[in-house]
Every structure is written in structure tokens, then in C-alpha cells.
Chain A
Amino acid sequence: MARSPALRRFVSHPWVLGVLGILTVFLVWWLVTASGMVDKLFLPGPGAVWLAGSDQFQRGILVADALASIKRVFIGFVISAGLALPIGIAMGTNRTICHFLEPLMALIRYMPAPAFIPLLIIYFGLEELPKVMLIFIGTFFFNTLMIMDAVKFVPSELVETALTLGGRGLPILTRVVAPYIAPQVLDTYRINMASAWNLVIVAELVAANEGLGKRISLAQRFLRTDEIFVGLIVIGLIGLMIDLGFRFMMRRACSWAN
């Protein structure tokens, strides 16, 4: 296929193929819609979606929606991540705490977070709190259990070396355990951030005044498929950026682990 080595090297670069994959889908999408095979109402073309998007952007709703969703994810996830870290470390280092909490968490983890929505609405109404709580419930248990596992796999030699060098308690936690698990913790957050992002949309589909999910459910009511596509693409892009951000942090902060 690729005749010259330069071309082959270019094609074998992971980014090139990735972009090519996305472009292919766009091309098929454009061909299908431009040929008039499907009703525009069901599947708008890329041009129409772009127009709908820039219209939303100019009216300021796109940014307001995105910010509303990001804010919910951010608050819910920061609380979840912030609590999961000490609790996960405690469970990973202390057998009693682990035996006490692990079965409970393993059980709750398998309860689908969206199933809590009705309860959250009854308890906390329709404002911000139930949405933030949903993100918390949907990510906290995963975050905690994954951090606990990371702590359990800290090689005992590393801890014991610190002990024989005169280390005790807290310094061992902050100077041995914490740096060792840092890459896994960041990766845990990266993975579970995806579900936080899923959940905020679910929560907004149910009840919200603004947010990307809310916009999608409004668009459905008025059969505005172009706006649904705008929402989907923006949600995907923001998710991707967050993912890349975590990867970037990992490369910067934990270069030793690569």
C-alpha cells in the first residue's frame, strides 16, 4: 500500500490513522446525507449540524450549557475523588477497615447509579444537589475500590525499606505509598471521569434548566436532530479533552512510570 518509507512512517503514526478513522465517518455521513437517501429530519448533514452549533454558540447557550454540565461534573467528581483517596488508602493499608467496608462498597458499586435518580429527586428536589450526588454515587465506590487495589499492590520491599531507614506511619504514606500509587490514581480518575460525564447527561435528561443533556432532551421534543448532534459532538469533544488532560498530567507527573 504505502510505497515510500516516508509515507509508511507517516501512516503508521497512531494519530494519523486515528484522524483518518474520524474523517472516514464524516465522509460517509456527508455522502449519505448529500445523496438525499435519508430524510434530513432524521439525519441532518454535517453542514446543518455546524449551522445549528454556531447558532447555539452565538446565542450563548452552547457555552452556558457546557459550563453548567462541566460544573456539575467537576463538583461531584472532586468530592468523590477527594474522599476516595483517603478512604481507598485506609482500606488498602488497614485490614480491619478493608474487611468492614469492602463488601458494602462492592455491593453498592453494582447498583446502577441512574437507578438512584428517583430517590435523589424525592430527597433533594430538582436543583443542583441531586445531580452532583448522582455523580458522586456513580464514581465514588469505583474510585475507592480501585485506589484500594493500587495501595495493596505497593511492593512490600518499598515500605519495609523505608521502615529500616527509620521511617514510620505518616511519612511512609506520603513519601512511599502516595508517589507509588500516583500514576494508578490518575488513571483511575481518568477512567471514572468518563462515567461522571455519562451520568451528568443522564441527570440532565431527567430534569434540569440548562446543560448539554437538557439541550438534547429539548431538541428531541422539537424534533431538532441537528441540535441533538451538536450536543453529542460537544459532549464527546469535552470528554476527549478531559481524557487527554489526565494523560498529559500523568506523563508530566509520573514520567518514571512509563
Chain B
Amino acid sequence: MHLQVSQVSKSFGEGRDRKLVLENISFELVSGQFMALVGSSGSGKSTVMRLIAGLERPSEGTIQLDGVPVRRPGSDRGMVFQKYSLYPWLTAAQNVAFGLSLQGRDRSEIRERTAYFLDVVGLADAARLLPRELSGGMQQRVAIARALATEPKVLLLDEPFGALDLQIRESMQEFLHDLWKRTGLTALLITHDIEEALLLAGTVHIMAPRPGRIVHTVDVQLDRSDLRHLRVSQPFLELREELASRLRSLDGSLL
């Protein structure tokens, strides 16, 4: 798998209302990689993700998946939104099965895969519950299982834990890291939380707003055998502080 974002710019609106939201974004993502985009809100992170998902088209530049230009949304790029994305009338299992049944897979395959992916996210017991009966963290795990069930080449996560309480967010980060190690998925995570990005991603791009652009890229080399330990370790805290001050100076220079 090779995702290639080359010199992508995006503007919304026409004429005098035209607004440049992304300018000259380039990066590449390969199989098994976990990448994060960090930036303050309004820096165009979601727009990058929507362009890759095919929900928007770039104004300039190209996005290619395995050499094929992205033209429309498709199940090879799974997406998890911040919230409100489970179908409230479907049970957890039916939500996970949704993509499979849209693709017209046969029943026994759907049943098998649904059970498998519910199990992968640790929700086998919640199969028959409706979204409103699930906690916020469980809902996001169902959303992740649903996106994984169609076996996308890349998983796009747009602030998936942004709406969760701090404690649950931390356990979800550990869950996601564990999931990545177990399944070898390829992920692009969007977050405004530097800690989250550093904990999970091998490569972190820092984005600045107006117009949205990548201003700094870090390759994170940290020992991730124990995330809880990593969170409070010296090298991690130093790196976090360095990036935080970079972000602050970006915001400061705009005031």
C-alpha cells in the first residue's frame, strides 16, 4: 500500500469568498505505518482527511493510492469520525456488518467477519446493544471495527477520541496502539493532542493554519512497549514540550 499526497491545495468558495484552506500539502504513507497530523483547530486537518477519503476533491495537486488517483470515496479508505457516526437504529453488530452488507458479501461471511472484528475491538458481548446503550468509548470502538471490517488499505481517524473524557481517551489510545501492533494496520490519525500523536505515530506532521500547511515533521523513535510508562518518561516529555512550544509559537506569530 502506498498513499501519495503530492502538492495538494484546496480552496473553498468562489470569487471574492474564495478561501485557501490547504496549501501545498505533501506526504507519503506506506503499509504498516502509523502517521499523525497535529495542528490547532481550523488548520485544515479534517480537510486533508476528507480529500484522501474522496469526500472532497483537491483544487490542485494529486492524491494517489497505489498509483491510482483518488476520485471518490471507497472502502479501501476506511474512515472514523469524531462522533455521531454509528447508525442509531442498528445494533453494534449490525453497524459493524453495515459496510460488508453494502458490498453484498454473503451472509455467512458477514456473520463471521462481524463476530471477528467485534472481538478484535473487545466488544463481543455488546453485539446486540444499540449505540445509545454504549459508552462513548465503546461507540468509537464499534466505529473502528466497522471501518476495519471492509479491510481498508488505510484507516483514516479524524480526532476519534476528541469527544471522550481524559481517562477513557487514554485507555482508547492504548487500545488503538495495541490494535495497530496486533493487526499491522496502516493509519492516518488526526488530532490536536500532541501527546496522543507522539504516543501512537511513527511520523508526526505539525500543521499551521491560514492557510493549512505542514510546517514541521518529526520521526518519533520511542520505546512503545509500555504506553503508560512512556507517557511520563523523560524523552517523551521533552519531545512533547518541544513540539508544544513550536505549536505555541505558530499560534503566537499569528496574533
Contacts and interface: CB of A to CB of B under 8 A. Distances in A.
Interface string B95-113: 0001100110000000000
Interface of B: 53-55, 72-75, 77-79, 81, 83-85, 87-89, 98-99, 102-103, 130, 132, 143, 146-147, 150, 156
B146 A165 contact: yes
Contacts of B81: 157, 160-161
Contacts of B77: 164
Contacts of A180: 87-89
A60 interface: no
Contact of A160 (B73, B75, B102, B143): B73
A254 interface: yes
Nearest to B130: A256
A158 B89 contact: no
By secondary structure, the A interface counts as helix
Interface string A176-197: 1001101000000000000000
A164 B53 contact: yes
Given A171-B102, A175-B102, A256-B132, A166 B84 contact: no
Most buried by B among A163, A254, A257: A163
Contacts of A161: 79, 81, 85, 143, 146
A155 interface: yes
B73 A164 contact: yes
A185 to B, nearest CB: 13
Chain A's interface size range is: 20 to 34
A158 B89 CA distance: 12
21 contacts: A158-B87, A161-B79, A163-B53, A164-B53, A164-B74, A164-B75, A164-B77, A164-B147, A165-B78, A165-B99, A165-B146, A166-B75, A166-B103, A167-B99, A167-B102, A179-B87, A254-B89, A256-B130, A256-B132, A257-B88, A257-B89
A230 B54 CA distance: 64
A89 to B, nearest CB: 17
Interface string A201-221: 000000000000000000000
Contacts of A254: 89
Contacts of A162: 98, 102
Given A166-B102, A166-B103, A256-B130, A160 B84 contact: no
By secondary structure, the B interface counts as loop
Given A158-B87, A160-B81, A164-B78, 19 more contacts: A155-B85, A157-B81, A163-B53, A163-B54, A163-B72, A164-B74, A164-B79, A164-B147, A165-B98, A165-B102, A165-B147, A166-B74, A166-B150, A167-B99, A167-B102, A176-B87, A180-B87, A256-B88, A256-B132
B55 A165 contact: no
B157 to A, nearest CB: 12
Contacts of A160: 53, 55, 73, 79, 81
Contacts of A256: 88-89, 130, 132
Contacts of B146: 161, 165
Nearest to B152: A164
Nearest to A161: B85
| 3 nearest A-B residue pairs (beta carbon) | A165-B99, A166-B75, A163-B73
A171 to B, nearest CB: 6
Contacts of B102: 162, 165-167, 171, 175
Nearest to B95: A161
Contacts of A158: 84-85, 87
Nearest to B98: A165
A160 B84 CA distance: 11
Interface string A10-54: 000000000000000000000000000000000000000000000
A142 B175 CA distance: 49
Nearest to B73: A163
A254 B89 CA distance: 8
Interface in A127-175: 155, 157-158, 160-167, 171, 175
A160 to B, nearest CB: 6
Contacts of A155: 84-85
Contacts of A167: 99, 102
B77 to A, nearest CB: 6
Nearest to B101: A175
Nearest to A167: B102
A163 B73 CA distance: 6
Contacts of B156: 164
A163 to B, nearest CB: 4
Contacts of A165: 75, 78, 98-99, 102-103, 146-147, 150
